[in-house]
């Protein structure tokens, strides 16, 4: 780094001075282009000289200038203007806010931006106002459906929970698939921690309303500047900055409700009892029906002589209704911004609370933010921003991301036998252990009591801040240094209440964990730009360093005197302690060179040399180049005058990016801890290592067309890409006989190697049209985007067609290929389920070895969104549809709900209604059978995965917003400058054939949608006031 | 200016990769393999790591006992734990014993210690005792692997036999050593187990049991291995040697129940120790919970004294319970019948449960697990002697177990068949719920007869399936028939 500073200082010495002469006096007034108000403090200077002045309070300036001078009007937050004086003596100027400029510009990394026209890479942009006031806790979720080529899915419905963002498909098998996020230059650590307690999302630290703009670098042309972290794309977030002028204070509040999208139709008490009798009869053909009836009633806790009339009178309790409830959404925020020509600021404070549709699961965030820009002098500008947030998330028992815990309401509510009451007549919870009452059925825990008594939460305190210093060496050259910190501390706690059946015997349990992550990064860049005649050259070069350290401790204690004591010191017996430490360091040098001729032919080259401590000693450093070009056809003579074509640019790029999202020490040969014996800690081998480990390398080819017709009434882009992900970091499974698989300490036998290859190819189309424009009276705008992506695994280890340990990864198939033994329906003769063996013959036996691809996969074929915005005066209606097509997912939840009383859990009425009952009946639902199996012999369970794959395509009315801006005439009396009232609905309608709670989920941890907190529907109402 | 940029870039380019410390991060919760076994402390820690694997759920933590019992004919499964053990109880294909990876992990740990020992700076006597202990553990692992996944020598079903298990004896700790072994023949695996146990009997310490391997434990294991191998004379000799060792003693009639209520069973020759609360496998995975709804020793005795209304809440699942037929095998006066008592209400079922594991450590869901105990040695010696037609000695040993249980000594044990029948009955009663019955039937090539459907010896369900991932990862490895 010292070297860079030295060079920078050297550069100071080559600054040139200028002589000048004074000839004429120019006067004028500078006003705002938006409201015509006078702009005080605007810097007015003569181009190429140091002479200048500033406007007064009335916006008026007076300046002596040489002949043929050019005046430069500049003000922070506004678009600078250069005006040749010519023979004039008075020049009035209107300056526009550069918010507009920002949205038209493309951020290309390390603070550099080019205009949309000049961008040679495939990038997409989401403007902050498109996602303002959505009742979503993190901006990643808010981007869903708004960007071509970017597929965003919530892992589950927890507010502020994990989100998967896949830019241009899935290009890795075992390494990470999430993009690099950069907020105001700070590279974030986006690992989701604390999963067992609550589902956290590190991006939730930022109030989405504080975002000015989100830029997504999709191809290597621009992303390669981030080298080894860019293979999954780069998302650059620019937060709001202050605008000079009068301090503006804004208040914004919205509130509303959140409710379950659907609940499942399960059997009532009478249906369950009769189905159970059928199931029991199937396996006991020789036992008289009366005896079976009596036995079933007895096993369900009833008198075995109950009459039919008495059975008919038994009540049914709706457990889902108690688990999935309407919750509250609240958001309040205050912003203040303003400043002078030297210093501007933007500050905000916000509070956000949202309940999940599952009881006692919620999200609360307090976030404060300040952004300061200070111009020390003509040469040095500092920018700093600091985001502080504290998030408290209450999580469900069993975790939000998929739970099979019997005590988890999100899993068990539909499965509990329906005649079990939820509460006793006195209002206390039914079936708690101390009462001596045991709930019949496999699920004998009162999950609603669990949800009420268990205290499970994670508090994430996060600070993301940076300081940027820009030193302008001359008009063509500046140095920019950035130091950033992303600090996060997590405090998790799980208190298992001693009143609950899981914790009654151990008299309560408490697990606390503390972990913090310190991620700091720093970079220095030298930026230049120079034009000569029709040639323009610009670019930057720089160095970067990043370090990320994560450590934590945990404790578990048991034996609490009463449920009122919930801290660790109250526990009779400490039970275990834990701790961990891990870290990674990265360093890089990089450069970008851009050249254009006459703004018609544009070229850009990027080179980055990247090092990461994660890789083997032999391969720590990697080189990532990219080349891109653009031909702006609309600047050519033959189109320049065209009344139809206003913008037409053809882009092409090729480049390479890397992925290092693997375990920090995957390349090392390690011995780890392995249990305790006789009070002594043991050790054992934990990792075989691979000193040749190197980067996953993505090569992306992209051809794109940016278009605009009729002066921008129709505009958009089409991109075709091919992304080849090579040297994929695959865990080459080695036989467990080598001694590295141990369920005890969670090690598995593998060597991480660079052996796989996956290809993603696709086409993306974005279009925005202004369908009707009657000025202020009526305007109708439509935005549409669609992406089609094809994914294929083209290579695994030598001679291996299927990834051992993960049958869904196979050469010649897409990733996430669904694999099972295909279900062949039910034998109409006897009601037994059948499968196809590998020869296509019907069989009753499901052999593990017969599992094979079913011809579909868990990746979407097409996805995108459609927004229609109608504006009429102050009234605005925005209708946003989001769709996802072609994904076939495993409905693991239904896997558990199709037993037809084969086990003592409730199930869907669908399966009861369609069960096989009579010979000759054609149905896909087998006859009810106890333990879902035939009585004896070599039999397979009826419950096999092959039966439960479903089309998870959906179209959803994701967002409906109606807003009204009060006319200025109503506001004149007070000091209020603007009032906006709005109402919103999220996930209002969904069209899908999926039969589970909701088709939007990610199968994390292999449980599919079993026991996840489902997505919810929200209605909110809000008001925004600007002073 | 471009020159300057180029200059900066090239300087940086040249300097960065040179700064090797720039990218240096050392792990803290693991250590480099090459240092792990370089010190005496390192080897001792690795030895404890090896023992700790025996506590795994798939091994002696639960499955080698509870799943083996569920598969066999002593038990019936009461479905009151969300289906736990139901499929094993019904012998539904693919529901079987497992633990493949844990066995081989432990074996590799043993192999690595054995490799490091000669170079180590440990005192010579300690080197020997560690070698003895490690070889005992390796032998135990190969023996358990073999009986779970393969046929015993002499009772193979040739049409279905794919060999025993791969024998790996060299420690693996680098990618270059990764092996793709085939399944060795049962004879080869048994020969290796013999070699290890012979070394262990010579080198393992005489004292320090039963929670650590001793020479006595090595004799005891060799006796059992020989019995499975139909090597009757070795079985007799080794059982005798084990009984002569100072580890474990036969509990008398009056203290028999108390012996099963104590944290450590006085009969244990080798017993896996669960020491601290954090080692408990919890309600879902513990042996106690698999067998009984009763929460503690004191609760068991208070329930015997009086059964209150309402009953205290059930704390375990109590899924794997004795069949009435099995309970019917006990005759009046048999003290062992006291280890079965009426449990608590779970899922509207109150039934007689086995109470050999009751959270005797004082921590619920945590019990030491006897692997080899004195009574078994008498029964092994009796069976092997009977096979050798030494009926007097055989009768004497089996009567010792009978009289200790409070039964009369049988005097009419005058034919091999009669002796063997009585030995089998006593084995079944004495070692019930300790995971023996399934393997006792299997080693003799016998059918398992049970209400949920018989498993005849020629049925492929006799052997556990190898993990499918293992078959995919190693093309040299053949899956057991029928999977």
> What is the full DSSP assignment across A368-413?
EEEEEEEE-SSSEEEEEEEEEEEEEEE--TT-SB----TT-HHHHT
For residue B329, the enclosing domain spans 280-367
Same domain? A171 vs A217: yes
Distance CA B27, CA B34 (A): 14
Instruction: Give A580's contacts in chain B (Cβ within 8 Å).
Output: 29
Phi, psi dihedrals of residue A266, rounded to the nearest 5°: -115, 165
Give this complex's ipTM: 0.91
Distance CA A949, CA A113 (A): 46
pLDDT class for A823, splitting at 50, 70, 90? very high
Residue B20 has pLDDT above 60, yes or no: no
Distance CA A266, CA A249 (A): 52
pLDDT for the residue numbered B396: 96
Residue B9 has pLDDT above 90, yes or no: no
pLDDT class for A244, splitting at 50, 70, 90? confident
A24 versus A592: which is more confidently predicted?
A592
Same domain? A79 vs A211: no
Distance CA A525, CA B276 (A): 56
Q: How far is A639 from chain B (nearest CA, A)?
A: 34
In this predicted model, what pLDDT tens digit does every residue of A799-818 receive, in sequence order?
778 887 788 889 999 998 99
Instruction: Give B371's contacts in chain A (Cβ within 8 Å).
Output: none
Same domain? B253 vs B393: yes
Same domain? B406 vs B393: yes
pLDDT for the residue numbered A746: 57
Residue B371 contacts residue B64 (beta carbons within 8 Å): no
Contact B29 A581 (CB under 8 A): yes
Instruction: Give A617's contacts in chain B (Cβ within 8 Å).
Output: none
3-state secondary structure of A152: strand
Residue A659 has pLDDT above 90, yes or no: no
Same domain? A79 vs A138: no
Q: Is B28 inside a domain boundary?
A: no
Closest by Cβ to A438, choosing from B102, B347, B467: B347
The tokens for A907 are 């199930």
3-state secondary structure of B135: helix
Instruction: Give B172's contacts in chain A (Cβ within 8 Å).
Output: 685, 688, 738-740
Q: Calculate the average pLDDT of chain B.
A: 92
Instruction: Give A940's contacts in chain B (Cβ within 8 Å).
Output: 92-94
Same domain? B224 vs B363: no
* DSSP 8-state secondary structure symbol assigned to residue A777: S
pLDDT class for A21, splitting at 50, 70, 90? very low
Q: Percent of chain B beyond pLDDT 70?
A: 95
Count of residues in chain A:
1027
pLDDT for the residue numbered B81: 66
Distance CA A41, CA A51 (A): 15
State mean pLDDT over A461-471. Answer: 95
Residue A633 contacts residue A579 (beta carbons within 8 Å): no
Contact B468 A848 (CB under 8 A): yes
CA B75, B76, B82, B87: dihedral to nearest 10 degrees? 90
Domain stops at, among B367, B383, B402: B367
A157 versus A580: which is more confidently predicted?
A580
Same domain? A105 vs A249: yes
Contact A545 B22 (CB under 8 A): yes
pLDDT for the residue numbered B453: 85
pLDDT for the residue numbered A603: 95
The tokens for A136 are 């979503």
Q: Is A126 inside a domain boundary?
A: yes
Contact A941 B16 (CB under 8 A): no
Q: Is A450 inside a domain boundary?
A: no
pLDDT for the residue numbered A618: 80
Same domain? B232 vs B338: no
Distance CA B94, CA A698 (A): 41
Domain stops at, among A80, A96, A112: A96
Same domain? A66 vs A153: no
Domain stops at, among B316, B344, B367: B367
In this predicted model, what pLDDT tens digit does every residue of A79-116 receive, in sequence order?
788 888 888 888 888 887 665 444 467 788 888 888 88
A595 near B CB under 8 A: no
Residue A968 has pLDDT above 80, yes or no: no
Same domain? B267 vs B329: no
Residue A879 has pLDDT above 90, yes or no: yes
pLDDT for the residue numbered A219: 87
Nearest Cα to Cα of residue B116 among B44, B197, B213, B201: B44
pLDDT for the residue numbered A892: 86
Same domain? A87 vs A199: no
Q: Which A residues, 901 through 920, put their C-beta within 8 Å of a C-beta on chain B?
A: 903-905
Could you tell me the CATH number of the domain that includes residue B398? 1.25.40.390
3-state secondary structure of A637: helix
3-state secondary structure of A889: strand
State mean pLDDT over A979-986. Answer: 94
Q: Is A964 inside a domain boundary?
A: no
Closest by Cβ to B31, choosing from A436, A441, A670: A670
State mean pLDDT over A286-308. Answer: 92
Instruction: Give B23's contacts in chain A (Cβ within 8 Å).
Output: 585-587, 611-613, 620
* DSSP 8-state secondary structure symbol assigned to residue B349: B
Q: How far is B134 from chain A (nearest CA, A)?
A: 14
Residue A433: CB atoms within 10 A of its CB come to: 22
Same domain? B235 vs B309: no
Same domain? B233 vs B348: no
pLDDT for the residue numbered A69: 83
Could you tell me the CATH number of the domain that includes residue A87? 2.60.40.1120
pLDDT for the residue numbered A6: 47
pLDDT for the residue numbered B400: 97
For residue A28, the enclosing domain spans 2-96
Closest by Cβ to A685, choosing from B87, B173, B276: B173
Q: Is B294 inside a domain boundary?
A: yes
Nearest Cα to Cα of residue A32 among A874, A872, A969, A977: A977
Q: Is A90 inside a domain boundary?
A: yes
Contact A737 B453 (CB under 8 A): no
Residue A1007 has pLDDT above 70, yes or no: no
Mutate which of A443, A587, A676, A677 to disrupt the B interface (most B C-beta within 10 Å)? A677
DSSP sequence for A84-113:
E-TT-SB--EEE-BHHHHHHHEEEEETTEE
Among the listed ranges A132-136, A397-401, A597-601, A649-653, which one has the minimum average pLDDT value? A397-401
Three-class SS of B426-478: HHHHHCCCCCCHHHHHHHCCCCECCCCCCECCCCHHHCCCCCHHHHHHCCCCC
Residue A15 has pLDDT above 50, yes or no: no
pLDDT for the residue numbered A175: 78
Same domain? A72 vs A126: no
Same domain? B304 vs B424: no
State mean pLDDT over A852-880. Answer: 93
Same domain? B356 vs B287: yes
Same domain? B391 vs B380: yes
User: Which chain B residue's Cα is nearest to A10?
Assistant: B4
Distance CA A486, CA A185 (A): 11
Q: Is B353 inside a domain boundary?
A: yes
Q: Is B232 inside a domain boundary?
A: yes
Instruction: Give A434's contacts in chain B (Cβ within 8 Å).
Output: 313
Same domain? B323 vs B294: yes
Tokens 């593990």 correspond to what residue? A848
Same domain? B254 vs B382: yes
Same domain? A146 vs A220: yes
Q: Is B256 inside a domain boundary?
A: yes
State mean pLDDT over A6-13. Answer: 39
Nearest Cα to Cα of residue A338 among A367, A375, A386, A371: A371
Distance CA B81, CA B58 (A): 18
pLDDT for the residue numbered A400: 66
Per-position b or e across A688-712, b if 16+ CB within 10 A of its CB? bbbeebbbbbbbbbbbbebbbbeee
pLDDT for the residue numbered A972: 66
Q: Is A631 inside a domain boundary?
A: no
Same domain? A235 vs A195: yes
Count of residues in chain B:
483
pLDDT for the residue numbered A12: 35
Domain count, chain A: 3
* DSSP 8-state secondary structure symbol assigned to residue B57: I
Q: Is A660 inside a domain boundary?
A: no
State mean pLDDT over B185-189. Answer: 96
Same domain? A50 vs A196: no
Burial class of residue A673, CB neighbours in 10 A (0-12, 13-18, 19+): middle
A537 near B CB under 8 A: yes
Residue A36 has pLDDT above 70, yes or no: no
Domain count, chain B: 2
For strands A234-239 and A180-183, give the pairing: parallel
Residue A150 contacts residue A166 (beta carbons within 8 Å): yes
Closest by Cβ to A677, choosing from B27, B52, B465: B52
Closest by Cβ to A528, choosing from B1, B13, B49: B1
pLDDT class for A17, splitting at 50, 70, 90? very low
Distance CA B460, CA B455 (A): 9
Query: How many CA within 13 A on the CB side of residue A653?
Result: 35
Contact B313 A434 (CB under 8 A): yes
For strands A817-820 and A852-857, give the pairing: antiparallel
pLDDT for the residue numbered A10: 38
Q: Is A216 inside a domain boundary?
A: yes
> pTM here?
0.82
pLDDT class for B402, splitting at 50, 70, 90? very high
| Cis peptide preceding A985, ω within 30 of 0 | no
Residue A338 has pLDDT above 80, yes or no: yes
pLDDT for the residue numbered B149: 97
Distance CA A85, CA A49 (A): 15
In this predicted model, what pLDDT tens digit does every residue of B58-113 receive, in sequence order?
999 999 999 999 999 999 998 776 678 988 998 988 899 999 999 999 999 999 99
Q: Is B149 inside a domain boundary?
A: no
Among the listed ranges A316-330, A494-508, B117-131, which one has the minimum average pLDDT value? A494-508
Same domain? A105 vs A239: yes
* DSSP 8-state secondary structure symbol assigned to residue B251: P
Closest by Cβ to A300, choosing from B79, B277, B348: B348
Establish, for the pair of chains A and B, how many residue pairs have beta carbons separated by less than 8 Å.
Answer: 358
Closest by Cβ to A685, choosing from B112, B212, B482: B112
Residue A707 has pLDDT above 50, yes or no: yes
Residue A179 contacts residue A170 (beta carbons within 8 Å): no
Same domain? A110 vs A181: yes
pLDDT for the residue numbered A131: 84
Residue B34: CB atoms within 10 A of its CB come to: 11
Q: Is A746 inside a domain boundary?
A: no
A804 versus B381: which is more confidently predicted?
B381
């Amino acid at each position: 780094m010292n070297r860079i500073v030295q060079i920078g200082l050297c550069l100071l010495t080559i600054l040139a001075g200028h002589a000048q002469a004074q000839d004429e006096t120019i006067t004028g007034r500078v006003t705002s282009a938006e409201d015509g108000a006078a702009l005080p403090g605007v810097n007015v200077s003569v181009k190429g000289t140091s002479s200048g002045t500033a406007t007064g309070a009335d916006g008026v300036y007076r300046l002596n200038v040489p002949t043929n001078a050019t005046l430069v009007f500049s003000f922070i937050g506004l678009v600078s203007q250069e005006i040749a004086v010519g023979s004039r003596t008075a020049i009035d100027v209107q300056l526009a806010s550069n918010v507009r400029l920002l949205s038209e510009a493309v951020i290309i990394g390390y603070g550099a931006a080019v205009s949309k026209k000049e961008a040679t890479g495939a990038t997409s942009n989401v403007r902050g106002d498109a996602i303002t006031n959505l009742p979503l806790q993190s901006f990643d979720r808010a981007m869903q459906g708004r960007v071509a080529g970017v597929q965003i899915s919530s892992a589950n419905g927890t507010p502020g929970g994990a989100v998967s963002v896949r830019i241009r498909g899935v290009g890795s098998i075992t390494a990470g698939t999430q993009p690099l996020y950069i907020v105001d230059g700070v590279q974030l650590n986006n690992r989701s921690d604390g999963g067992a307690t609550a589902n956290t999302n590190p991006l939730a630290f930022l109030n989405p309303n504080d975002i000015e703009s989100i830029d997504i670098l999709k191809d290597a042309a621009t992303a390669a500047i981030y080298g080894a972290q860019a293979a999954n794309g780069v998302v650059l977030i620019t937060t709001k900055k202050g605008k000079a002028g009068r301090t503006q204070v804004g208040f914004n509040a919205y509130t509303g409700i959140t409710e379950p999208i659907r609940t499942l139709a399960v059997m009532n008490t009478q249906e369950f009892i009769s189905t159970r009798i059928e199931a029991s009869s199937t396996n006991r053909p020789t036992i008289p029906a009366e005896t079976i009836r009596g036995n079933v009633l007895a096993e369900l806790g009833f008198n075995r002589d109950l009459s039919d009339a008495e059975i008919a009178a038994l009540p049914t309790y709706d457990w889902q209704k108690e688990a999935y409830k309407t919750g509250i959404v609240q958001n309040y925020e205050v912003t203040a911004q303003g400043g002078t020509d030297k210093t501007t600021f933007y500050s905000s404070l916000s509070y956000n609370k949202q309940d999940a549709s599952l009881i006692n699961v919620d999200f609360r965030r307090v976030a404060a933010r300040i952004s300061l820009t200070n111009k020390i002098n003509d040469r040095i500008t500092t920018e700093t921003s600091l985001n502080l947030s504290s998030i408290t998330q209450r999580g469900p028992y069993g975790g939000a991301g998929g739970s099979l815990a019997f005590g988890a309401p999100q899993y068990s509510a539909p499965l509990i036998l329906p005649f079990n009451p939820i509460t006793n007549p006195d209002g206390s919870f039914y079936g708690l252990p101390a009462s001596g009452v045991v709930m019949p059925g496999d699920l004998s825990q009162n999950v609603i009591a669990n949800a009420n008594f268990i205290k499970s939460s994670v508090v994430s305190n996060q600070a993301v801040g940076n300081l940027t210093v820009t030193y302008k060496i001359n008009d063509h050259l500046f140095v920019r240094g950035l130091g950033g910190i992303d600090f996060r501390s997590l405090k998790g706690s799980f208190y298992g209440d001693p009143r609950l059946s899981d914790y009654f015997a151990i008299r309560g349990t408490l697990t606390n964990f503390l972990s913090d992550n310190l991620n700091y990064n720093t970079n220095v860049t030298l930026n230049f730009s120079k034009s000569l005649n029709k040639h323009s050259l610009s670019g930057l070069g720089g160095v970067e360093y990043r370090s990320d350290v994560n450590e934590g401790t945990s404790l578990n204690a048991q034996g609490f005197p009463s449920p009122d004591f919930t801290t660790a010191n109250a526990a009779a017996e400490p039970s275990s302690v834990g701790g961990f430490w891990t870290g990674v360091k990265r360093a890089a040098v990089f450069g970008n060179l851009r050249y254009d001729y006459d703004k018609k032919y544009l070229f850009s080259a990027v080179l980055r040399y990247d090092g990461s401590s994660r890789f083997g000693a032999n391969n720590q450093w990697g080189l990532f180049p990219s080349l891109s070009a653009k031909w702006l056809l609309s600047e050519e003579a033959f189109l320049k005058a065209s009344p139809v074509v206003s913008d037409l640019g053809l882009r092409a790029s090729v480049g390479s990016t890397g992925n290092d999202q693997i375990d920090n020490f995957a390349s090392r040969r390690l011995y780890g801890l392995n249990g305790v014996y006789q009070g002594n800690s043991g050790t054992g081998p934990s990792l075989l290592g691979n000193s040749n480990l190197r980067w996953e390398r993505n090569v992306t080819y992209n051809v794109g067309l940016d278009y605009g017709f009729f002066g921008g009434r129709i505009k958009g882009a089409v991109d075709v890409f091919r992304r080849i992900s090579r040297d994929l970091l695959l865990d080459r499974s080695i036989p467990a006989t080598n001694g590295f698989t141990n369920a005890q300490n969670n090690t598995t036998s593998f060597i991480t190697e660079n052996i796989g290859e996956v290809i993603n190819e696709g086409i993306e189309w974005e279009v925005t049209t202004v369908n009707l424009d009657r000025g202020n009276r009526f305007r109708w705008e439509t935005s549409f985007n669609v992406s089609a992506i094809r994914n294929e695994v083209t290579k695994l280890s030598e001679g291996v067609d299927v990834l051992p340990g993960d049958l869904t990864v196979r050469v010649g198939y897409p990733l996430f290929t669904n694999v099972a033994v295909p279900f062949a329906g039910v034998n109409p003769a006897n009601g037994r389920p059948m499968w196809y063996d590998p020869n296509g013959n019907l069989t009753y036996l499901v052999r593990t070895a017969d599992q094979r691809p079913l011809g579909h996969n868990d990746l979407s074929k097409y996805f995108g969104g459609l927004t229609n915005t109608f504006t009429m005066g102050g009234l605005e209606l925005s209708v946003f549809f989001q769709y996802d097509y072609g994904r076939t997912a495993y409905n693991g939840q239904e896997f558990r709900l199709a037993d037809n009383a084969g086990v003592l859990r409730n199930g869907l009425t669908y399966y009861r209604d369609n069960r096989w009952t009579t010979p000759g009946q054609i149905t896909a639902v087998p006859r009810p059978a106890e333990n879902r199996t035939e009585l004896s012999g070599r039999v397979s369970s009826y419950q096999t995965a092959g039966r439960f794959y479903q089309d998870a395509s959906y179209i959803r009315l994701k967002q409906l917003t109606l807003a009204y801006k009060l006319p200025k005439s109503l506001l004149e009396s007070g000091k209020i400058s603007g009032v906006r009232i709005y109402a919103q609905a999220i996930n209002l309608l969904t069209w899908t054939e999926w039969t589970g709670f909701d088709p939007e989920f990610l199968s994390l941890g292999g449980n599919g949608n079993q026991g996840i907190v489902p997505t919810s529907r929200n209605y909110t109402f809000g008001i925004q006031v600007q002073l | 200016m471009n020159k300057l940029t180029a200059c900066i870039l090239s300087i940086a380019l040249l300097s960065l990769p040179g700064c090797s410390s720039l990218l240096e991060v050392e792990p803290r919760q693991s250590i480099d393999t090459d240092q792990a076994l370089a010190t005496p402390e390192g080897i001792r820690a690795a030895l404890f790591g090896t023992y700790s694997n025996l506590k795994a759920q798939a091994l002696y933590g639960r499955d080698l006992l509870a799943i083996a019992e569920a598969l066999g004919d002593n038990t019936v499964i009461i479905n009151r734990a969300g289906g736990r053990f139901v499929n094993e109880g019904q012998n539904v294909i693919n529901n079987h014993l497992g633990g493949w990876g844990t066995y081989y992990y432990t074996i590799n740990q043993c192999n690595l210690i054995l490799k490091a020992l000669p170079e180590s700076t440990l005192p010579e006597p300690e080197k020997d005792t560690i070698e003895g202990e490690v070889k005992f553990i390796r032998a135990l692992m190969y023996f358990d692997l073999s009986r779970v996944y393969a046929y015993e020598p002499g009772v193979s079903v040739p049409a279905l036999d794919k060999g025993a298990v791969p024998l790996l004896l060299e420690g693996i700790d680098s990618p270059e050593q990764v092996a793709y072994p085939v399944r060795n023949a049962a004879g080869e695996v048994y020969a290796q187990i013999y070699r290890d146990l012979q070394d262990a009997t010579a080198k393992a310490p005489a004292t320090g049991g039963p929670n650590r391997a001793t020479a006595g434990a090595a004799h005891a294991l060799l006796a059992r291995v020989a019995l499975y191998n139909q090597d009757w004379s070795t079985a007799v000799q080794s059982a005798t040697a084990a009984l002569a060792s100072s580890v474990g003693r036969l509990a008398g009639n009056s203290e028999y129940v108390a012996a099963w209520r104590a944290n450590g069973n006085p009969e244990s020759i080798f017993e896996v120790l669960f020491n601290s609360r954090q080692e408990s496998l919890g309600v879902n995975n513990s042996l106690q919970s698999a067998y009984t709804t009763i929460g503690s020793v004191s609760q068991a005795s208070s329930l015997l004294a009086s059964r209150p209304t309402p009953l205290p809440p059930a704390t375990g699942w109590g899924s794997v319970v004795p069949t009435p037929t099995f309970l019917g095998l006990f005759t009046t006066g048999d003290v062992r019948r006291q280890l079965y008592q009426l449990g608590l209400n779970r899922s509207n079922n109150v039934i007689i449960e086995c109470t050999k594991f009751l959270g005797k450590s004082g921590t619920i869901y945590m019990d030491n697990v006897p692997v080899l105990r004195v009574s078994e040695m008498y029964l092994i010696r009796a069976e092997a002697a009977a096979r050798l037609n030494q009926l007097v000695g055989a009768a004497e040993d089996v009567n010792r177990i009978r009289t200790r249980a409070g039964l009369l000594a049988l005097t009419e044990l005058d034919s091999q068949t009669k002796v063997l029948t009585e030995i089998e009955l006593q084995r079944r009663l004495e070692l019930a719920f300790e995971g023996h019955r399934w393997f006792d039937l299997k080693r003799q090539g016998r059918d398992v007869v049970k209400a949920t459907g018989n498993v005849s010896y020629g049925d492929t369900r006799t052997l556990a399936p190898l993990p499918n991932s293992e078959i995919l990862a190693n093309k040299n490895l053949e899956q057991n028939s029928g999977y």
